[in-house]
Amino acid sequence: MAKPTLTLNGKLVEFEPGQTILQVAQAQGVEIPTLCYLKEATPTGACRICLVEVKGARTLVASCAMPAGNGMEIQTDSQAVHTSRRLNIELLLASGSHNCLTCEKNGDCKLQALAYRYGITDIRFKGQTQQYPKDDSNPLIVRDFSRCILCGRCVQACNDLQVNRAIGYGYRGAASKIVTTGDRPYQESDCVFCGQCVQACPVGALTEKKAVGLARSWETKKVRTTCPYCGVGCQMWLHVKDGRVVKVTAVEGAQPNRGMLCVKGRFGYDFIHSPERLTTPLIKGEDAGVSCARSINEDSYNMQKLFRGVIGTNNIDHCART
């Protein structure tokens, strides 16, 4: 059966049924800027940066959420699109405190990059913004709601990708913010500190506490490696400055973890530079077995049976309690 077609910036293209306009454009190598869009999560259409013009439509549409339709005629970079995107960026900039100078995300912030791209040098709108104190009450994640643009990527990362369901939208109107159940601190909530929300945050609202003040984004080089903990083999980037790992992020789109990490993989890297780290190989006096925490229960049972019953030692452990 013939594939459906649409016209993208004057060019007739085929697409797969079910694709959004954004996915069709990406498949054709046409770049549409996005902010709230998070791959593999349900699109929310919250930021309105990915707007495009569809002939005959009453308004501009959010390409990340709009399914492509047979016969559509789409313009991704018309004057109307440009003007609307610019306005939306200005409104987002006016919605909080977006002083880049001391922001941890300076140089790695999607909002900052969009403001630069669209040439926004001052903020025309003076909104009434909520003042939030910085929350660094837990050991791993700093929350700065004054920089939050309510794009919802952190909520999608928590609910759709990691399926932890620890955070969501709370309150209403100008008081809206991202909250745990009951708006409690992270450490008193259902949060398991996987840090997926931090990786998803496009601005400086969520940052890694251990990385604060250690490096600007352009000072680090990224080294790809495999997580050393369990047997899954998650792919990660080590962000390295002067030979020192300052933070860890997941490799987007790579198997097997598809851009996700657990708390150990993302935050458990202190051992790399620990003065107590073993630097020469040691042979244990007693036999010991170490199994993978991601092994199935039956394999873990057999492992301890082997070591206790055959080798004769109770020295059996795995990495789950790191």
Distance CA 180, CA 169 (A): 9
**DSSP letter assigned to residue 284:** -
* Stretch of residues binding ligand FES (CB under 6 A), selected from 11-19, 43-51, 240-248, 260-268: 43-51
Least spacing, CB of residue 50 vs ligand FES, in Å: 3
Distance, in Å, from the CA atom of 200 to the CA atom of 104, rounded to the nearest integer, reads 15
Region of 47-55, 104-112, 285-293, 299-307 interacting with ligand FES (CB under 6 A) = 47-55
* Angstrom distance (rounded) from CA 218 to CA 207: 16
User: Which amino acid is present at 293?
Assistant: A
Q: Which is nearer to ligand FES, 34 or 257 (CB)?
A: 34
- Any residues with CB less than 8 A from the CB of 178 and at least 6 apart, and which? 145, 148, 150, 152, 154, 155, 167, 168, 169, 170
Rounded Cα distance between 196 and 293, Å, is 21
Q: Looking at 34, 112, 196, 199, which residue binds ligand FES (CB under 6 A)?
A: 34
Query: Interface with ligand FES includes 66 (CB under 6 A)?
Result: no
C-alpha to C-alpha distance for 227 and 242, rounded to whole angstroms: 21
Residue 37 is a binding residue for ligand FES (CB under 6 A): yes
CA distance 86 to 236: 34
Q: Judged by CB under 6 A, does residue 48 bind ligand FES?
A: yes
DSSP per-residue string spanning 139-187: SSEEE-GGG-----HHHHIIIIIS----EEEES-GGG-EEEEGGG--GG
Binding of ligand FES by 81 (CB under 6 A): no
Q: Taking contact as CB under 6 A, which single stretch among the options 46-54, 208-216, 271-279, 308-316 is the one that binds ligand FES?
A: 46-54
| Residue 62 lies near ligand FES (rule: CB under 6 A) | yes
Q: Which stretch binds ligand FES (CB under 6 A): 48-56, 68-76, 128-136, 260-268?
A: 48-56
36 binds ligand FES (CB under 6 A): yes
Instruction: Candidates 13, 41, 50, 200: give the one binding ligand FES (CB under 6 A).
Output: 50
Interaction of residue 264 with ligand FES, rule CB under 6 A: no
Does residue 35 touch ligand FES according to CB under 6 A? yes
60 binds ligand FES (CB under 6 A): no
- Residue (48 or 105) nearer to ligand FES, CB: 48
Q: Is the CB of residue 127 less than 8 Å from the CB of residue 95?
A: yes
Q: Do 35 and 25 touch, CB atoms closer than 8 A? A: no
Please say whether the beta carbons of 57 and 81 come within 8 A. Answer: no
Q: Is 157 in the site for ligand FES (CB under 6 A)?
A: no
Q: CB within 8 A of 221, min separation 6: which ones?
A: 239, 240, 241
Give 34 or 156: the residue with its C-beta nearer to ligand FES. 34
* Candidates 30-38, 221-229, 244-252, 314-322; binding stretch for ligand FES (CB under 6 A): 30-38
Which of 8, 24, 30, 47 is in the footprint of ligand FES by CB under 6 A?
A: 47
Residue 46 interacts with ligand FES (CB under 6 A): yes or no: yes
CB of 113 to ligand FES, least distance (A): 14
Interface with ligand FES by CB under 6 A: which residues?
34-37, 45-50, 62, 64
